[in-house]
Amino acid sequence: MTVAPLDATPPAPVSLAEAFWFWLKLGFISFGGPAGQIAIMHEELVERRRWISEGRFLHALNYCMVLPGPEAQQLATYIGWLMHRSWGGLVAGGLFVLPSLFILIALSWLYMAFGNVPVIAGLFYGIKPAVTALVVHAAWRVGSRTLKNRWLWGIAVAAFVAIFALQLPFPLIVLAAGAMGYAGGRWAPEKFTVGGGHGKAGQPAGPALIDDTTPTPAHALFSWAHFRWVLGIGLGLWGLAIGVLCALYGWQGALTQMAWFFTKAALLTFGGAYAVLPYVYQGAVDHYQWLTAPQMIDGLALGETTPGPLIMVVAFVGFVGGWGQALFGPDALPLAGAAAASVVTFFTFLPSFVFIFLGGPFIESTHGKLKFTAPLTGITAAVVGVIANLAVFFAWRVLWPQGWAGRFDLFSALIGIGAGLALFRFKLGVITVVIASALAGLGLSYLH
């Protein structure tokens, strides 16, 4: 194997316009969940373009991994902010989300308008068991990286029992797991120091535009005045937006309640989208009844097969809720769905931008490698139990669609087993598995 020679010349400065086109492209190709999205950014930004060094990239990533919210989107926001100030962060983070929002609005409209057409119904018949296999695979993937000892296994099992048998709310489970992690970190610190992350890819070909020794840009230096300014703007935007919704539709209006609910969800997304989905299900399906359980599974399938963060499934939840509530009357259902999807997306991602603009200057002032804290380790262990509960819930809904007393769906079970083998044994990609399962569902739907 021939190793390419190092280029000792740093790359030329990058304009905001040039960065804009890169972030736009990334928004359309960011498939594969957070691990895949971070791998794409590493390859493009560290290895190929050399906009940022390996050390600075991982330093930013470690910070994003301890925040609630989609870490890949936050990492893009951080790098965009570091390179081109606040506008760079807004462009990078916004373009990571907007393509997915537009695609999901279009797909959600097709789903709501034509979901009962036999072809569409057949496709989703195959997708549902594939999604169940994907959730099982996610539980295994997170668990294999996290549950390194019996203490963490105990937290995971306790979280599963708490949400499955006791039906405790997800925020309470997160708080309890964080408290267990804090206590464990004091009494048995070696048990709560768990490595993890996304690993390193190849080595860069030379010095980077923002290298390990590059001084922190002036706009990225920490100051309390900047901290208060960003916090005030973030809270002001949130308060203004929810205040307008409340004035137009009242506190109990569907859009206002969506704004409030998904603000809370955004602050609980430790461990990724799979971890917060049970909370979204509890609120959107059980409490508010914005959509049904089968629709929730279908929405997760759409989220898995579109670019952008998986938490963008909330846009589907908002669209279906807005359509079902007929917010603007029966003649404007698509508009209601699009408005609700946009509101939900705004309130889900606003905290992510605030966290980066608030904490970025402090993180840049340390340049020391952040580690998972013991409370976060406890929360991550609990996430495994929560995801396992989600897998059980989806399997029950898919294999016994009429309830336990109804017929066992053998065809769905076969598709789910095939999808599981494809993921676990043959390591196939998510999109390949979902498409193959959809085609299998379409074929089998005509047999019964």
| 448 residues of the chain, pLDDT tens digit each | 444 455 667 788 899 999 999 999 989 877 656 766 777 788 889 888 899 988 788 778 767 877 788 888 999 999 999 999 999 999 999 999 999 999 999 999 999 988 777 777 788 788 888 878 887 887 887 788 778 889 899 999 999 999 888 888 777 887 898 889 888 878 887 777 654 444 444 455 578 888 888 888 889 898 999 999 999 999 999 999 999 999 999 999 999 999 999 999 998 776 666 677 878 888 999 899 999 988 988 888 788 778 888 889 999 999 999 999 999 999 999 999 999 999 999 999 999 999 999 999 988 876 544 344 577 678 778 878 877 887 887 788 888 877 777 789 899 999 999 999 998 999 887 778 888 998 998 888 777 6
pLDDT the model gives residue 347? 97
pLDDT the model gives residue 193? 65
Please, which residues have CB within 8 angstroms of residue 179's CB and are 6 or more apart in sequence? Answer: 375, 378
Residue 218 resides in a domain? no
Tokens representing residue 77 in the block: 């926001």
Bridge partners of 159, per DSSP, are none
Residue 7 resides in a domain? no
pLDDT the model gives residue 115? 75
pLDDT the model gives residue 205? 59
Can you list the alpha helix ranges (DSSP code H) found in 12-117? 16-29, 33-41, 54-65, 71-114
Residue 292 resides in a domain? yes
Domain residues for 161? 16-196+223-445
Cβ neighbourhood burial of 152 (10 Å; 0-12, 13-18, 19+): buried
pLDDT the model gives residue 226? 93
In order of 87, 190, 290, 312, 371, the CA distances from 77 in angstroms are: 10, 33, 31, 16, 20
CA distance 35 to 159: 24
CA distance 51 to 39: 15
Q: Which residue has the tokens 């970025």?
A: 360
How many independent structural domains does the chain possess?
Answer: 1
pLDDT the model gives residue 370? 39
Residue 8 resides in a domain? no
Task: Please state, as a whole number, how many other Cβ atoms lie within 10 Å of the Cβ of residue 417.
Answer: 12
Q: Alpha-carbon dihedral of residues 157, 160, 165, 169, nearest 10 degrees?
A: 130
Of 403, 389, 445, residue with least CA distance to 128: 445
Residue 394 resides in a domain? yes
Residue 424 resides in a domain? yes
Residue 162 resides in a domain? yes
